[in-house]
């Protein structure tokens, strides 16, 4: 057979057999058309310049391995073949990428290759957040598959970015038949691999302890990582990675996978009897069904696949780069963010205009750049049990409205921000009196309450219209610079009385599409507003929300020591600049722990710095220390928010944590070291830096000089005296002649 190939930069197509090779200098992804027009996966990993079909699946005699009747054979079966998008109900007994129910009750669906197109750049996904690219930054391959008997088409999209080891994937199914069909599962991607000496890394957790790093060996069977909450959730981030058994932060192969979606999600990791691994991610198919009318399509969210052959730091840096340059669409994505003071832990619901003015004035004196008025400014909101939905200023607390506070901030050169929780409703509210039917519930049945509130059905246009009108009014009248968008409970009794019985499986996804629609309108209408997303802290910290809102409140847990793990895990894929990190008072509200102000300052300065305390309660020496913290952060803010981030020591494995930030030109760096528990007669622990220029001489804290190679290979003793628990140190590195 002669092989011919069409070489275009990034995507190479060879014939006989038809093979697609997406590659740049860092990554290769290969698949091709097999016998019976099945789309088979060949290779995903470190870049190869040429692909000579070495990974075509061998013809092997297998038992209990059905083949198509026309070619009856025992050495070619879907049950073992690595595929690009497995169907359901046929010879492949592993997890299907798609399940569709047809009018005759059949749920068997299998696609074969039809054709392909290649486009420059990256088309947007209708109604969904997704990565974007200029025409010269990426290429997109769309492969059309068909299911002839069922009159369905399946479009698989693959985008490869020119300068990143990143492939993004999504799937769209179209009904060409005469009758509606019901889509019951559509993965965003499916990937089969013969590599099995792998560990699975995931980010799980709970409220106030989000994104714990958990690593376990892959074994035969199925592992599901999911959320059924109608939100990405505190408990399972829509991310996981398959990594070498011996991978570290600096070495070994890592395959990171992330879903750009904020609703219920599901990742399936399956190892079959032949130790072949299949991984899939997509909308959770529990309580999900989508009617597809003739000529209509259903689009899956996008998934991001990142490859690294240099360990986890390199994987994370690629995610950070992608999210900053190709996902966060806000004009603020590349701007340094203001240092804010949020009044939540300072006052909770109890404040008045005078008290807030005093807090603003005192914050200004400290060098703070934005004041954020949190929960409690609207309706009659003196406790969490009322007023959500009534986005009208509470004149008892603020008789003159919000404008004087906003004007006061602006007169001091500060910005003014405001908290909303748009997706919720309290029973004790005017909105509930007017529109009890706007709630997600099953009429006449018992419902679940959480934090005294219910979820508004954002799938309905009238609900979104109301919220857009109310929020626009407040934004315009209060001259807002920033919005914190909170969401404090998850969905239950997911039902919409306006839809038919058979459409109820659509409600949860319709909600998320509605949420995205509202965010699209709001962020388009108010491009100058800096949005921060929040869900009881980091309960919806996902790439979907980052598309609209370039920063997220990382966790309600502001304890500096707890934050080490939370921020460490979060940094696995989310950029440092997206992580809201605040200094709060001690004893800490969530853990009761006392930690030094210095350590609280350094942990919060490892992200997007803010304060969550009453500045009027600071002692004079604390005020002076906070002033210095703020001055220091301002001097290093660009480096911290946009430098290359390296994790150096893992709080999940040791009682220490360290990380650092290195400028693009490697001329400046800042490293931070945290010693969690102090030990008597402590062994000496070294700190090895990373990311420096080995042949460059650096001054360290202006105290001594050393070359990059020494600082990285040999390292330093970060703490030489025992200063008690929760001690920390910072190292400023500057290139010198």
- Select 28 or 488, whichever has its Cβ closest to ligand DGJ: 488
Minimum CB distance to ligand DGJ, residue 691 (Å): 33
Smallest separation (angstroms) from ligand DGJ to the CB of 591 = 16
DSSP string, 92-128: --S--SEEEE-TTS---B--EEEEEEEEES-PPPTTS
Q: Which residues pair with 374 in a beta bridge?
A: none
CB closer to ligand DGJ out of 34 and 374: 374
Say what angle helices 560-570 and 597-604 make with each other, to 10 degrees. 20
Question: Which one, 177 or 538, has the nearer CB to ligand DGJ?
Answer: 538
Cβ 658 vs Cβ 599: under 8 Å: no
Residue 42: Cβ within 10 Å count: 22
Contact 389, 426 (CB under 8 A): yes
d(CA 533, CA 694): 39
CA nearest neighbour of 554 among 530, 529, 526, 582: 582
Q: How many CB atoms lie within 10 A of CB 720?
A: 9
Shortest distance, CB of residue 46 to ligand DGJ, whole angstroms? 41
Tokens describing residue 429 = 């509210």
When CB distances to ligand DGJ are compared, the closest residue is 375
Evaluated on CA atoms 341, 347, 348, 352, the torsion sign reads negative
β-strands 181-193, 290-292 pairing: antiparallel
Q: Is the peptide bond before 17 cis (omega within 30 degrees of 0)?
A: yes
Question: What is the nearest approach in angstroms of ligand DGJ to the Cβ of residue 375?
Answer: 4
Which of 408, 553 has the CB closer to ligand DGJ?
553
What's the Cα-to-Cα distance from 476 to each of 150, 403, 481, 565, 669, rounded to whole Å? Answer: 52, 10, 10, 39, 41
What letters, b where the CB count within 10 A reaches 16 and e where it falls short, cover 422-439? bbbbbbbbebbeebeebb
Q: CB of 292 within 8 A of CB of 182?
A: yes
Smaller CB distance to ligand DGJ: residue 348 or 526? Answer: 348
Distance, CA of 362 to CA of 616 (rounded, Å): 7
What is the nearest approach in angstroms of ligand DGJ to the Cβ of residue 588? 14
Minimum distance from CB of 344 to ligand DGJ (Å)? 5
- We find the least distance from the C-beta atom of residue 144 to ligand DGJ, in angstroms, to be 45
**Angle, vertex CA 451, rays to CA 450 and CA 457, nearest 5:** 60
For the CB of residue 655, give the shortest distance to ligand DGJ in the complex, in Å.
28
Residue 247 or 388 with smaller CB distance to ligand DGJ = 388
Q: Phi-psi category of 649—alpha, beta or left, where left has phi over 0 and alpha has psi -120 to 50?
A: beta
- Rounded-to-integer distance, Cα 422 and Cα 666, Å: 43
Backbone phi and psi for residue 709, each to the nearest 5 degrees, phi listed first: -60, -40
User: Which residue, 270 or 488, has its beta carbon nearer to ligand DGJ?
Assistant: 488
What the block records as the tokens of 317 is 């840096």
- Smallest gap from residue 545 Cβ to ligand DGJ (A): 14
| Contact (CB, 8 A) for 10 and 162 | yes
CB-CB contact of 599 with 726 (8 Å):
yes
35 carries an active-site annotation: no
Q: 111 or 553, CB closer to ligand DGJ? A: 553
Q: Helices 403-411 and 353-366 meet at what angle, rounded to 10?
A: 20
Task: Specify the residue, 166 or 373, whose C-beta has the smaller distance to ligand DGJ.
Answer: 373
State the minimum distance, in angstroms, from the CB of residue 539 to ligand DGJ: 8
Which of 369, 421 has the CB closer to ligand DGJ?
421
What does DSSP assign to residue 718? S
- Report the alpha-carbon distance of residue 610 to residue 626 in Å, rounded: 11
For ligand DGJ, give the closer residue by CB, 165 or 539: 539
Q: How far is the CB of 512 from ligand DGJ (least distance, A)?
A: 20
Q: Shortest distance, CB of residue 45 to ligand DGJ, whole angstroms? A: 40
Note the residues at the interface with ligand DGJ (CB under 6 A).
Answer: 344, 374-375, 419, 486, 488, 534, 536-537, 553, 556
Distances (CA, A) of 180 to 150, 247, 402, 510, 693: 11, 48, 51, 18, 61
Nearer to ligand DGJ, 226 or 374 (CB): 374
Can you tell me the distance from the alpha carbon of 443 to that of 460, in angstroms, rounded to the nearest whole number?
A: 16
Look up residue 722 and give its two tokens.
């025992």
Between CA 66 and CA 91 the distance in angstroms is 5
* Catalytic, out of 285, 375, 556, 650: 556
- Is residue 439 within 8 Å of 455, Cβ to Cβ? yes
Q: CB of 535: closest distance to ligand DGJ in angstroms?
A: 7
User: At a CB cut-off of 8 Å and minimum separation 6, what does 309 contact?
Assistant: 45, 46, 252, 253
Count of residues for the chain? 737
State which residue, 285 or 375, has the beta carbon closest to ligand DGJ: 375
Name the 3-class secondary structure at 572: coil
Nearest to 259 by CA among 283, 279, 275: 283
Candidate list 374, 486, 496, 542, residue with the active-site label: 486
Q: Are 570 and 204 in contact (CB under 8 A)?
A: no
Q: Is 556 one of the annotated active-site residues of the chain?
A: yes
Identify the bridge partners of residue 702 per DSSP, sorted by sequence position.
Answer: none
CA distance 312 to 215: 12
Active site residues: 486, 556
């Amino acid at each position: 057979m002669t092989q011919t190939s069409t070489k275009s930069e990034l995507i190479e197509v060879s014939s006989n057999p038809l093979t697609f090779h997406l590659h740049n200098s860092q990554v290769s992804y290969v698949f091709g058309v097999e016998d019976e027009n099945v789309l088979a996966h060949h290779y995903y990993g470190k870049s190869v310049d040429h692909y000579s079909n070495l990974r075509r699946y061998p013809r092997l005699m297998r038992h209990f391995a059905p083949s198509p009747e026309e070619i009856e054979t025992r050495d070619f079966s879907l049950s073992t073949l690595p595929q690009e998008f497995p169907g359901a109900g046929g010879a492949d007994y592993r997890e299907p990428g798609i399940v569709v129910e047809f009018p005759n009750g059949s749920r068997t669906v299998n696609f074969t290759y039809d054709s392909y197109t290649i486009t420059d750049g990256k088309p947007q996904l209708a109604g969904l957040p997704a990565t974007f690219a200029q025409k010269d930054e990426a290429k997109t391959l769309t492969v059309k598959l068909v299911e002839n008997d069922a009159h369905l088409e399946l479009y698989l999209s693959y985008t490869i970015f020119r300068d990143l080891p990143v492939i993004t994937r999504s799937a769209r199914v179209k009904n060409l038949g005469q009758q509606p069909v019901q889509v019951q599962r559509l993965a965003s991607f499916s990937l089969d691999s013969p590599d099995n000496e792998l560990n699975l890394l995931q980010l799980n957790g709970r409220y106030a302890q989000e994104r714990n790093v958990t690593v376990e060996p892959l074994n035969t069977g199925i592992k599901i990582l999911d959320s059924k909450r109608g939100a990405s959730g505190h408990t399972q981030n829509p991310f996981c990675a398959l990594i070498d058994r011996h991978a570290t932060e600096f070495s070994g192969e890592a395959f990171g996978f992330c879903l750009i979606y904020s609703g219920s999600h599901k990742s399936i990791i399956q190892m079959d009897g032949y130790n072949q691994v299949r991984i899939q991610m997509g909308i959770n198919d529990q309580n999900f069904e989508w009617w597809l009318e003739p000529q209509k399509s259903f689009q899956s969210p996008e998934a991001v696949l990142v490859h690294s052959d240099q360990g986890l730091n390199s994987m994370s840096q690629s995610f950070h780069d992608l999210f900053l340059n190709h996902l966060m669409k806000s004009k603020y994505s590349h701007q340094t963010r203001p240092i804010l003071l949020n009044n939540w832990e300072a006052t909770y619901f109890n404040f008045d205009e005078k008290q807030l003015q005093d807090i603003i004035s005192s914050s200004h004196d400290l060098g703070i750049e934005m004041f954020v008025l949190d929960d409690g400014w609207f309706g009659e909101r003196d406790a969490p049990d009322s007023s959500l939905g009534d986005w009208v200023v509470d004149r008892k607390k603020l008789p003159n409205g919000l404008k004087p506070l906003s004007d006061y901030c602006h007169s001091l050169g500060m910005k003014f921000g405001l908290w909303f929780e748009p997706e919720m409703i309290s029973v004790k509210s005017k909105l509930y009196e007017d529109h009890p039917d706007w709630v997600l519930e099953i009429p006449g049945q018992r419902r679940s309450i959480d934090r005294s509130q219910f979820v508004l059905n954002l799938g309905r246009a009238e609900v979104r219209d109301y919220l857009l009108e109310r929020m626009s009014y407040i934004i315009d009248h209060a001259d807002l610079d920033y919005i914190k968008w909170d969401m404090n409970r998850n969905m239950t009794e997911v039902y919409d009385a306006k839809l038919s019985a058979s459409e109820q499986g659509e409600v949860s996804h319709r909600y998320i599409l509605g949420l995205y629609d509202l965010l699209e309108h709001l962020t388009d209408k108010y491009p100058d507003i800096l949005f921060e997303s929040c869900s009881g802290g980091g309960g919806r910290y996902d790439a979907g929300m980052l598309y609209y809102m370039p920063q997220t409140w990382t966790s309600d847990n502001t304890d500096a020591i707890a934050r080490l793990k939370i921020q460490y895990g979060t940094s696995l894929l989310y950029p440092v600049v997206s992580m809201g990190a605040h200094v709060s008072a001690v004893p800490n509200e969530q853990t009761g722990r006392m930690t030094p102000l210095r350590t609280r300052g350094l942990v919060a300065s490892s992200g997007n710095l803010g304060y969550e305390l009453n500045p009027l309660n600071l002692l004079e020496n604390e005020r002076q220390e906070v002033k210095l913290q703020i001055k220091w952060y301002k001097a290093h803010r660009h480096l911290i928010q946009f430098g290359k981030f390296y994790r150096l020591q893992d709080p999940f494995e040791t009682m220490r944590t360290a990380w650092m930030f290195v400028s693009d030109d490697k001329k400046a760096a800042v490293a931070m070291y945290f010693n969690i528990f102090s030990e008597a007669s402590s062994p000496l622990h070294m700190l090895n830096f990373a990311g420096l220029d080995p042949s460059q001489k650096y001054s360290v804290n202006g105290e001594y000089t050393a070359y990059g190679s020494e600082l990285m290979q040999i390292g330093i003793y970060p703490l030489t005296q025992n200063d008690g628990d929760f001690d920390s140190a910072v190292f400023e590195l500057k290139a010198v002649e």
